[in-house]
Structure 1
Amino acid sequence: MISRFPCRAPLWRALGLACLLVGSPALHALEFEEAVALAERQSPGLAAQASAVAAARHQAEGAHRLPAPRLAVGVENLPISGMDRWSLSRDFMTMQRLALMQDIPNQGLRDARRQGAQARAERDQAGHELQRRQLRLELLLAWQAVQRGEQRIALLAELLAENQRLIDSLPALVSGGTATAAELLMARQERLMLSDRDDEARRDIAKARAALRRWLGERSAEPLAALAPLPERDPNALRERWLRHVELAAFPAMLRMAQAELREVDAEDRGDWSWELAYNRRGRQWGDMVSFQLSFALPWDRKNRLQPQLSGKQRELERVEQERQEMQRRLLQSLDEQLAEQATLTRQIERQSQQILPLARQRAELSLSSYQAGRSSLPELLSARAAVLEARLREIDLMAAQDALRAQLETLILE
């Protein structure tokens, strides 16, 4: 062919190269980590949480600083009766006053406020990390659902092609008297059943793609790269790692917040102080004056003034600790349930792949041989083929459940 049309060979090669170059971007499979980075950049919820973290950190930077100074302007000893009334200069006691004042909370109070602001920033950071992990988990579960759905569709396509070959061969057998019209109807019914299962698999993929579209936008329609298999953890190691669950990460910061609030109330008993520098201007015949004074808060009546607040903050600290313990117990219960589910899934997958599926395939092969030899009917063959289909789909479902369980056990742990 090339010798007869030598002038066209370079053209065909050029067209082939062009098609390859144009088609190559479509062949690129989206990697999971790339998708996670894209989802994090595009997530409004994560952006809002990041803004909250930044705001809390900025507030923590100024929490220990002194309050803003105050400037006072006024008139002292202004006469309102007599010959010098409303005069600013004739009475020697009348002064125009300009004062600068600074309140200075005690160091313990300032330290407690700084520690509380830092703890709030750490709590918001833990919330941001929780949201990131939940995003990653939802993305991973949707990714797994797409790929398991594609496996189901590939399996059903194989069985539909096999069913079509059977349907194509049956009319000749019916004409030859070796098969009945009822058997042809059974084969068509099997095709409808397989088509229903195929529609269900495509529906599940569409739902998973919709979940991906929430995070990835238009890129959710791209082919997805295969996921690396998640490790199977030892139960004892999982229990140790489970204490670093992302839902527990905020509690240390919340405890420090409650402790800081308790110290802040306790520090009020130490008393604050302030200073004031004033310039007093009098009439020309009188000299100007400068005054300086210190003021001290007198902590008194602690029992009635501070003790109720201290008791309330102590109860708040106890509440946070009790909620932490309750969350830890709930998570440990959830872990035990998931470990039991994981052990069951492992046994079921092993039994399905090593015993049930091989037996179903042997039965289908024997039924096909018997049917071809005229020793069995088409219903027996279709029943055996349906058993193989159910076994293979069951294996995919079990592996999907195992993948989803491992995804939860891996994604929500802070290393």
Structure 2
Amino acid sequence: MEKNWVARAAVQHIAALAALVALCIPLRAIATDAPLTLAEAQRRAVERSRQLVGQDFAITASREMAAAAGQLPDPVATLGVNNLPINGPDAWSLTRDFMTMTSVGVMQEFTRAEKREARAERFEREAEKSLAARTASVAAIQRDTALAWLDRHYAEAMAVVVSEQSRQATIEVEAAEGAYRAGRGSLADILAARNALALLDDRSSELRRRVSNSKIALARWIGDGADAELAGRPPIDSIRLDPRTLEQDLPHHPQLAALRKQEEMAAADVRVAQANKKPDWSVALMYSQRGPAYSNMISVNVSIPLQWDQKNRQDREVAAKLAMLDQARAEREDMLRAHTAE
């Protein structure tokens, strides 16, 4: 009795698993065979792009550099032996000669706050420029994916039309041949019908190649799934642009936004170069120990670079950065004119 109960329970368990599998398979097939929409293709392309991942790393790198650029330089530790005799009765002794001393010290360069802020701001502008470039890359990926998707959509639609025309042309060939056999037609009618069918066959072959190439182009962006059935064409007959606000909206174009951030980064480089015209001070503190018979000493040193040739160094660096700023501004204005003309 107990064995029969165990057997029935096992059969019921297996039946339940079989039913679950039967339910899951159609659902998976439905999910896999769902038509590929234009929006879904664009989403996959953006998600798959390694270019965007690289730009994310560039943004992170610039922000990390901005944090580092705002800090003071690392202090420098010094160790040394000064005035060590190398001959005579006190040779190589650290304690006998009153001038011999062992020293330990630390030196710190105090970079001006405005200079550190300018350097940090420069990397912040670089991060913003990379972010704007990423936005432009997303737009370019979506555009190219849409072109590949639409190219395949129209190629397949044309292939369907030509296939139907070929079917009709085949019927016309058969009709022409039947009419000729019945004495109601001529060989010229048969040749004309066959020639039309041959032209349609050539057109059909061309469209099959175009469909195949469009699938390859789409796979370049979305990878696996480029062969999936396409959904219907989305409504793209109208452009969502208001001519009244076009002049105000145009500067927000992804390419123009990236060039504007490039210009801001160039302006930050100018501020860094201008800040470099003011030298930074360094302070060194040293403790020196002499022999037991002599006093120990401390030393304090202050150093500052002598920018004695600013017109050929710092001023030229500022001039170079200003020229690069003018270049960035000119490129942005040229791009703005090009998009305005479009």
CA deviation profile, 1:16-54 (whole Å, cap 9, x unmatched): 999966753453112333333322333233332322222
- Alpha-carbon distance in structure 2 between the residues aligned to 1:220 and 1:90: 87
CA deviation profile, 1:288-346 (whole Å, cap 9, x unmatched): 3333444344555544543222222222222221222122222223x1xxxxxxxxxxx
**In the alignment, which residue of structure 2 is the partner of 1:308?**
316
Q: Does 1:245 align with 2:246?
A: no
Offset of residue 161 of structure 1: 2.0
1:160-175 aligned at under 5 Å gives the runs 160-175=166-181
Offset of residue 138 of structure 1: 0.8
Offset of residue 239 of structure 1: 4.6
2:158 corresponds, among 130, 152, 163, to 152
SS in 2 for 1:186: helix
**In the alignment, which residue of structure 1 is the partner of 2:269?**
261
TM-score (norm 1): 0.70
- Alpha-carbon distance in structure 2 between the residues aligned to 1:63 and 1:114: 5
- Alpha-carbon distance in structure 2 between the residues aligned to 1:128 and 1:157: 43
Offset of residue 140 of structure 1: 0.3
Offset of residue 134 of structure 1: 1.3
CA contact (8 A) 2:65 2:120 kept: no
Comparing 276-285 with 289-298, greater Cα deviation is found at 289-298
Task: Read off the aligned partner of 1:180 and give its amino acid letter.
Answer: S
SS in 2 for 1:253: helix
- Alpha-carbon distance in structure 2 between the residues aligned to 1:260 and 1:23: 55
CA deviation profile, 1:205-226 (whole Å, cap 9, x unmatched): 1111111111222211111222
**In the alignment, which residue of structure 1 is the partner of 2:11?**
none
* Identical columns (%): 32
Comparing 183-192 with 275-284, greater Cα deviation is found at 275-284
- Alpha-carbon distance in structure 2 between the residues aligned to 1:103 and 1:273: 6
Offset of residue 235 of structure 1: 4.1
SS in 2 for 1:221: coil
**In the alignment, which residue of structure 2 is the partner of 1:201?**
207
- Alpha-carbon distance in structure 1 between the residues aligned to 2:202 and 2:36: 29
Q: Does 1:320 align with 2:323?
A: no
- Structure 1's 58 and 148: CA in aligned 2 closer, same or farther, altered over 3 A? same
Offset of residue 71 of structure 1: 1.0
Structure 1 residue runs of 5 or longer lacking an equivalent are 1-13, 336-415
1:136 corresponds, among 123, 142, 151, to 142
- Alpha-carbon distance in structure 1 between the residues aligned to 2:23 and 2:196: 44
1:354-393 aligned at under 5 Å gives the runs none
2:33 corresponds, among 3, 27, 31, to 27
Structure 2 residue runs of 5 or longer lacking an equivalent are 1-18
1:110 corresponds, among 112, 116, 129, to 116
- Structure 1's 211 and 107: CA in aligned 2 closer, same or farther, altered over 3 A? same
- Alpha-carbon distance in structure 1 between the residues aligned to 2:192 and 2:312: 89
**In the alignment, which residue of structure 2 is the partner of 1:275?**
283
- Structure 1's 181 and 216: CA in aligned 2 closer, same or farther, altered over 3 A? same
Q: What RMSD, in angstroms, separates the aligned Cα atoms of the two structures?
A: 2.6
- Alpha-carbon distance in structure 2 between the residues aligned to 1:243 and 1:144: 28
- Alpha-carbon distance in structure 1 between the residues aligned to 2:23 and 2:279: 83
SS in 1 for 2:139: helix
- Alpha-carbon distance in structure 2 between the residues aligned to 1:22 and 1:295: 74
Comparing 220-229 with 69-78, greater Cα deviation is found at 220-229
SS in 1 for 2:73: coil
Task: Read off the aligned partner of 1:295 and give its amino acid letter.
Answer: S
Q: Which has the higher helix share?
A: 1
1:85 corresponds, among 78, 82, 91, to 91
- Alpha-carbon distance in structure 2 between the residues aligned to 1:38 and 1:110: 42
- Structure 1's 91 and 242: CA in aligned 2 closer, same or farther, altered over 3 A? same
- Alpha-carbon distance in structure 2 between the residues aligned to 1:52 and 1:304: 34
SS in 1 for 2:224: helix
**In the alignment, which residue of structure 2 is the partner of 1:74?**
80
Task: Read off the aligned partner of 1:201 and give its amino acid letter.
Answer: L
Q: Does 1:288 align with 2:283?
A: no
**In the alignment, which residue of structure 1 is the partner of 2:130?**
124
**In the alignment, which residue of structure 1 is the partner of 2:16?**
none
- Structure 1's 235 and 288: CA in aligned 2 closer, same or farther, altered over 3 A? same
TM-score (norm 2): 0.84
- Alpha-carbon distance in structure 2 between the residues aligned to 1:129 and 1:27: 31
Q: How many residues align?
A: 320
SS in 1 for 2:69: coil
Comparing 159-168 with 291-300, greater Cα deviation is found at 291-300
Task: Read off the aligned partner of 1:212 and give its amino acid letter.
Answer: L
**In the alignment, which residue of structure 1 is the partner of 2:52?**
46
Q: Does 1:222 align with 2:228?
A: yes
- Structure 1's 179 and 237: CA in aligned 2 closer, same or farther, altered over 3 A? farther
- Alpha-carbon distance in structure 2 between the residues aligned to 1:96 and 1:227: 83
- Alpha-carbon distance in structure 1 between the residues aligned to 2:299 and 2:23: 91
- Alpha-carbon distance in structure 2 between the residues aligned to 1:309 and 1:83: 56
